[in-house]
Structure 1
Amino acid sequence: MSLARVLRAVGGVSAVGLVAALAACSASPVSRFYTLGGNDAATRTAAPAAFYLEVSPVDMPPQVAKNQMVVQDGAAQVRVLEDERWASLPADEVRRALSADLSQRLGAIDVYGTPHPEGVPVYRVKVNVQRFESSPGRRALIDAVWSVRGVSNQAVLTCRTLAEQPVDAGYDALVAGHRRAVDQLASEISAGVRTVSSVRMPVTTSAAAGKAAKLPAPAPAVLPCPAAAMSATAAPAQ
């Protein structure tokens, strides 16, 4: 149908008004961007710690490793939402939120990729997210295997956290649920850091140190998961 016939059909609507209406109908939906930053843990502070953290990049399942939000549509289907997007890749969102949360809980600085003074204990945190599920109106779930290793004392523990948070309808509520799941993950990892930091380096004399230099390095002390991180046990994160 020609524009003239359309104008006659709508009974005197101006051409300018009709063109504006058609343009509004054909305009692409506006994308919305979400972040896991700014969770409630930022309000909690701890005394400055006498150690550093190294929070490594987070591993994320490939099916959700994209800016578009991926939501569960039943037990065996997912939808990729073009207009609901993460501000950065989910792995970066989780790592950034974890780093901020752990720093607040432990009073420690995350020095990953940053030069830092020698002689200060460093505890490396590695997180492997095995499931990152988003079900609007139902739940936000993060299932992660994580490890904490002491660079100086070589103590290590590996645990699993299954954080499942109920959520209301809407994507804001879904993202808030994932924030709470990250907060639970950070709580359990911080307990793990405290456990590893409690292992002391053996005190040796200079003579014993000379002999020890000729021996192979001792195997890392493998520690049990703390009571606050007993969601499950799992194989070490790589």
Structure 2
Amino acid sequence: MMRVFVTAAMALIAGCASSPPEHFYSLSVGMGGSAPQATPAYYIELPAVTVPQQVARNQLVVTTGAGRVDLLEQERWAAPPAAEIGQALSLAVSGDLGTIDVFRTPTPDKAPVYRISTNIQRFESAPGRYALIDAVWSVRLVGSTQVHTCRSVAQETVSAGYDELVAGHRRAIARISTDIAKTVRILAAGGKPSC
């Protein structure tokens, strides 16, 4: 009886040891730009980003064709996609503008703060084909009623492999962050941006 138990336990341990490893990915690796000025002329505030419900999970959700999607248990985001996208956008936009994201942080009196709201309409991952982010975003000077709303669709061709897929999403976020930063820069200079 003891021999059967030991054999079963060893088989269970061997089965656990042979399961494939999980891989974790982040969208904010390598994001950012110049260091902020000592006292920025203005700040940004990037509240939580929203994403489509079907991709709001830690596992990578990939499109395999004909409307089919697969949930990859071994390939995961380091944080939920909304948090990953939000952090990556915050780092990229604040780095591009040389300012600071002050979301949930007090700011000096009368300091201009531009609030950036972002709604991800589509977040598609097609390994070996493309990475796509379709975002509707708006910029508003806090305290003002004027809102500037735009849409950015960034599709990046990717080669095979999940590392390449994630790198494609990073490039897509960089393109969207450039659009947002350009708008903030024009608004801060008193101009009227266009989408």
TM-score, normalised to structure 1's length? Answer: 0.72
Query: Which residue among 113, 119, 124 is the counterpart of 1:122?
Result: 113
Percent of aligned pairs with the same residue?
49
CA distance in 1, matches of 2:36, 2:103: 21
Between 1 and 2, higher relative CO (CA 8 Å, sep ≥ 6) is seen in 2
Gaps of 5+ in 1: 5-15, 201-222, 231-238
**Which residue identity does 1:113 align to in structure 2?**
R
Aligned to 1:107: 98
Aligned to 2:166: 175
Q: SS where residue 65 of structure 2 aligns?
A: coil
Aligned to 2:187: 196
CA distance in 1, matches of 2:99, 2:13: 56
- Deviation of 1:195 after TM superposition, in Å, equals 2.1
- Deviation of 1:38 after TM superposition, in Å, equals 1.8
**Which residue identity does 1:147 align to in structure 2?**
S
Say yes or no: does 1:139 pair with 2:130: yes
Say yes or no: does 1:86 pair with 2:49: no
Gaps of 5+ in 2: none
- Deviation of 1:150 after TM superposition, in Å, equals 0.8
CA distance in 1, matches of 2:17, 2:143: 61
Query: Which residue among 10, 23, 38 is the counterpart of 1:32?
Result: 23
Say yes or no: does 1:160 pair with 2:151: yes
Give the conservation status (yes or no) of the 8 Å contact 1:157–1:196.
no
Q: SS where residue 110 of structure 1 aligns?
A: coil
What CA RMSD, in Å, does the superposition of the two structures yield over aligned residues? 2.4
CA distance in 2, matches of 1:47, 1:100: 11
Aligned to 1:186: 177
TM-score, normalised to structure 2's length? Answer: 0.87
Query: Which residue among 67, 84, 91 is the counterpart of 1:76?
Result: 67
- Deviation of 1:25 after TM superposition, in Å, equals 7.6
Task: Give deviations 1:156-215, integer Å, cap 9, x for gaps.
Answer: 210000000000100000000000000001000001111221238xxxxxxxxxxxxxxx
Task: Name the count of aligned residue pairs.
Answer: 188
CA distance in 1, matches of 2:109, 2:98: 19
Q: SS where residue 155 of structure 1 aligns?
A: coil
Query: Which structure has the larger Rg?
Result: 1
Give the conservation status (yes or no) of the 8 Å contact 1:121–1:152.
no
Q: 1:76 to 1:121 in 2, by over 3 A?
A: same
* Structure with the higher fraction of residues in strand conformation: 2
Q: 1:183 to 1:116 in 2, by over 3 A?
A: same
Give the conservation status (yes or no) of the 8 Å contact 1:164–1:181.
yes
Q: 1:105 to 1:224 in 2, by over 3 A?
A: closer
**Which residue identity does 1:34 align to in structure 2?**
Y
- Deviation of 1:46 after TM superposition, in Å, equals 6.2
Structure 1 runs (4+) greater than 4 angstroms displaced: 19-22
CA distance in 1, matches of 2:145, 2:12: 67
**Which residue identity does 2:89 align to in structure 1?**
L
- Deviation of 1:84 after TM superposition, in Å, equals 0.4
Aligned to 2:34: 45
